[in-house]
Amino acid sequence: MVVLPPIFSKKYQSLLPLQLQCVNNPFSACSFHQKKVILQVSHVCDDSEIKMETSTLAIIVPCYNEETVLPQTNQQLLGLLGDMMHDRLVGENSYILYVDDGSGDQTWSMIAGFGQVNDHVRGLKLAANVGHQNALMAGLETALEDADVTISIDADLQDDIQVIPEMVRKFDNGCDIVYGVRRSRDTDSWFKRTTAQGFYRFMRLMGVKTVYNHADFRLMSRRAVTALKGYEERNLFLRGLVPQLGYRSDQVFYDRLQRQGDESKYPFGKMLSFAVDGVTSFSVRPLRLIFDLGVFFLLISLAILVYVIVALADGRGVQGWASIMLSIWFVGGCLLICLSVIAAYIGRIYTEGKHRPRYNIEKYIK
């Protein structure tokens, strides 16, 4: 059995059929370059069958109170992983890593049971609930020890797992990051669709680089995850961090499926908080908008001053207190909004300055 080194096998993949012919028939016509190829691999060859090296894949699945969807999720992912290993698209050591983010139901016991039955299932239990982004980061960092490539996906499998083989092929072709992008939002409610589209447009307006209609369904190489690990901020917004890595990337498109479980783990309050984290983590434009707002109010006050002077010159007095009270309340409300924006940034500085760990691992089964 001949095992080519990873770099070598990719470089000379197109020459393999002819290499086999030249090895089996030393009198066949081979060019100088092809003979050189055979000489380079001769020290690792002990028969004429060549085995292409495949990468170890880790599928990262953050879980929070997912007991209702986990059995079906595990069945589907194991089936897909088995097909990919059979087709030699990924290595035999590939696995699924479930990350329990402090669930209060039977999520962890189910994960532990999956791991006892199948060696391709692993479980990571966090000591407390740290949020989806931190749980996902915990899984990525844990998979660094033995995975060549990772794919993150939510436990409800609304993201279509049938595009995962396409992601892996793009990785084999040289991409370090492959984004799963929704073709449309037809399956969303009007409210969810409107707020989601507004979120992406607002992020773009604030100068945050994101991939439109992409959540956290993505492939990342070991090199990309290692680089991501160097970003040590505690207020994680991976949808903005990953595009900043700069490595070669591509996209696969899919139609989002219906959720298997009972309800979404991202209600409106969490989505709003997530949006605030994304803006304040990557953009200072809101602070600049406060200055623009101050200039706007100054211009309005100057216009009112001109109006008052003209009215006094014409002998028309300014009567009533309604306009004064309206101005006070309007300006007061704007000041509170501005202070809230500044406070959000100060809160981020406070959190980052403490340098607390993102998560603590309670158990790891493999």
278-297 pLDDT, tens digit per residue, is 666 666 677 777 777 777 77
Backbone angles phi, psi at 355, to 5 degrees: 55, 40
Residue 31 has pLDDT above 80, yes or no: no
Most confident of 124-138, 235-249, 304-318: 124-138
Arithmetic mean of pLDDT, 51-75: 89
Q: What do you get for the CA distance between the two ends of the chain, in Å?
A: 29
Cα dist from 285 to 85, 222, 243, 299, whole Å: 47, 33, 19, 21
Place of tokens 């000379």: 12
In single-letter form, the type of residue at position 272 comes to L
Q: How many CB atoms lie within 10 A of CB 119?
A: 10
3-state DSSP assignment of residue 155: coil
Contact 41, 4 (CB under 8 A): yes
CA dist., res. 101 & res. 74, Å (int): 17
Cα dist from 80 to 88, 146, 180, whole Å: 12, 20, 17
Q: What six digits make up the tokens of 201?
A: 């447009």
Q: Tell which wins on pLDDT, 149 or 15.
A: 149
CA dist., res. 108 & res. 130, Å (int): 15
- pLDDT at site 237: 82
Which residues of 81-165 form beta strands (DSSP E)? 95-100, 121-126, 149-152
The closest of 91, 73, 72 to 82, measured between CA atoms, is: 91
CB-based contacts of 172, cutoff 8 Å, min separation 6: 55
Backbone angles phi, psi at 318, to 5 degrees: -85, 115
Residue 12 has pLDDT above 60, yes or no: no
CA dist., res. 220 & res. 246, Å (int): 12
Q: What pLDDT band is residue 240 in, cutting at 50, 70 and 90?
A: confident
Backbone angles phi, psi at 312, to 5 degrees: -70, -35
Q: Tell which wins on pLDDT, 269 or 310.
A: 310
Contact 278, 237 (CB under 8 A): yes
Question: Given the DSSP bridges, would you call strands 149-152 and 57-63 parallel, antiparallel or unpaired?
Answer: parallel
pLDDT in tens, 182-228: 887 776 677 777 777 777 777 777 777 778 888 889 999 999 999 99
Question: Given the DSSP bridges, would you call strands 361-365 and 121-126 parallel, antiparallel or unpaired?
Answer: antiparallel
Give the CA angle between residues 350, 354, 355 to the nearest 5°: 125
Question: Given the DSSP bridges, would you call strands 249-254 and 177-182 parallel, antiparallel or unpaired?
Answer: parallel
